């Protein structure tokens, strides 16, 4: 039986874009020479704010022919620091420039004041936090003049002060703000392993009519913990959770993330094709079980390796530009 590929209900007026990948600079030569071969791209917002170099020019060019979605890592919606209005103005300007279909970020905080941890830090899940985040999401949506799409993060610690589950928190946040949801099924898998809850129950409990996008990725074991590394093929259990999520939502946009040890573009497309086949056949693809790894000089374990992208994009862009000029 195939999984339905059309949403049962509109998702905040946002379309089912189909199957996409995160746009990475090392793939640009292949994309420019052979074509996108995906339905849409997701870009890391911070990599393109006020950036007029090679990669930004390519994104501008691609945005004329293929939908672009912006995915941020620095909104810090859960922080106690005031919202960064300059950041939001730049975000809004970039969205206009690339005609972004939607803008997403994470249910987390990333720093305090001028300090940015470059990590997605968890929140205490209680009424005080819910009220705080609700107010900030509403304010962000007013500034951006569009729904904000919130992603569930992976987490490795919990707060004693939490009084509700993450899926309960998300449900109340959605009801209060009418924001959208980016359901990262790999993050559900990771957090369920780390905190010993039922991943299927999580996915069944969220408001499915507000899910506009699903993330797929590959994690890694590190000791007793599962780490959201984005550096491996999607494991079998994540494919199972993805199938369940698509069944419950009626079919929403799929995005494959791969942010470390990034494969060549054809290999990335082959992994994305597994999602296409699952949606058409209903058969969960065969996939490897994540292997335990040890962090060393050859394999640094990073949770959500956003710093990798932010740190190296300039060097990668210069390398690609130089190779193109030879």
Q: In total, how many domains does the chain have?
A: 1
Predicted pLDDT of residue 11: 82
Report yes or no on 123 lying in a domain.
yes
Report yes or no on 13 lying in a domain.
no
3-class secondary-structure state, position 318: helix
Specify the pTM: 0.88
Report yes or no on 243 lying in a domain.
yes
Percent of the chain with pLDDT strictly greater than 70: 84
| Averaged pLDDT in 10-residue chunks for the chain of 326 residues | 48 94 96 97 94 90 97 95 96 97 95 72 96 98 98 95 98 98 98 97 97 96 88 95 97 96 96 97 84 55 49 42 39
Taking 3-state DSSP, the helix, strand and coil percentages for the chain, each rounded to the nearest 5, stand at 40, 15, 40
Angle (CA) 319 94 31, round 5°: 40
Rounded to the nearest angstrom, the gap between the alpha carbon of residue 265 and the centroid of all alpha carbons in its chain is 19
Report the CATH number that the domain containing residue 265 is assigned in CATH.
Answer: 3.20.20.150
Matching residue, tokens 């672009």: 68
Predicted pLDDT of residue 92: 98
Report yes or no on 2 lying in a domain.
no
Report yes or no on 1 lying in a domain.
no
Predicted pLDDT of residue 317: 38
Predicted pLDDT of residue 172: 98
| Alpha-helix runs per DSSP H in the chain | 28-34, 54-62, 85-98, 127-144, 166-177, 185-195, 199-205, 236-249, 265-281, 306-324
Predicted pLDDT of residue 8: 46
Predicted pLDDT of residue 184: 98
Report yes or no on 3 lying in a domain.
no
Q: Which phi and psi angles does 183 have, rounded to 5°?
A: -85, 110
Q: What is the pLDDT of residues 116-145, one digit of tens each?
A: 766 788 999 999 999 999 999 999 999 999
Report yes or no on 4 lying in a domain.
no
Domain that holds residue 44: 19-324
Report yes or no on 8 lying in a domain.
no
């Amino acid at each position: 039986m195939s999984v339905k590929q059309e949403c049962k209900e509109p998702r905040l007026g946002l379309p089912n874009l189909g199957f996409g990948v995160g746009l990475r600079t090392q793939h640009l030569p292949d994309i420019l020479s052979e074509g996108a071969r995906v339905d849409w791209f997701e870009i890391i917002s911070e990599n393109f704010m006020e950036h007029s170099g090679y990669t930004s020019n390519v994104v501008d060019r691609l945005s004329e022919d293929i939908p672009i979605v912006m995915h941020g890592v620095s909104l810090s919606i859960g922080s106690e620091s005031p919202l960064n209005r300059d950041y939001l103005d730049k975000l809004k300007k970039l969205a206009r420039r690339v005609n972004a279909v939607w803008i997403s970020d994470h249910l987390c905080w990333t720093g305090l004041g001028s300090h940015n941890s470059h990590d997605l830090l968890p929140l205490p899940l209680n009424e005080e936090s819910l009220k705080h985040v609700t107010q900030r999401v509403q304010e962000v949506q007013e500034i951006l003049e569009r729904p904000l799409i919130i992603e569930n993060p992976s987490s490795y610690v919990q707060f004693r002060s939490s009084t509700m589950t993450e899926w309960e928190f998300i449900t109340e946040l959605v009801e209060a703000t009418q924001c959208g949801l980016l359901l990262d099924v790999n993050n559900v898998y990771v957090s369920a392993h780390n905190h010993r809850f039922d991943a299927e129950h999580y996915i069944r409990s969220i408001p499915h009519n507000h899910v506009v996008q699903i993330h797929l990725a590959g994690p890694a074991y590190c000791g007793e913990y599962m780490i959201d590394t984005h550096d491996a093929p999607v494991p079998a259990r994540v494919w199972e959770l993805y199938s369940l999520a698509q069944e419950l939502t009626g079919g929403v946009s799929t995005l494959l993330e791969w942010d470390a040890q990034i494969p060549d573009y054809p290999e990335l497309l082959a992994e994305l094709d597994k999602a296409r086949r699952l949606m058409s056949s209903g058969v969960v693809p065969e996939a490897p079980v994540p292997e335990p790894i040890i962090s060393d000089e050859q394999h640094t374990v990073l949770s959500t390796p956003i710093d990798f992208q932010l740190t190296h994009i300039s060097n990668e862009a210069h390398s690609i530009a130089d190779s193109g000029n030879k």
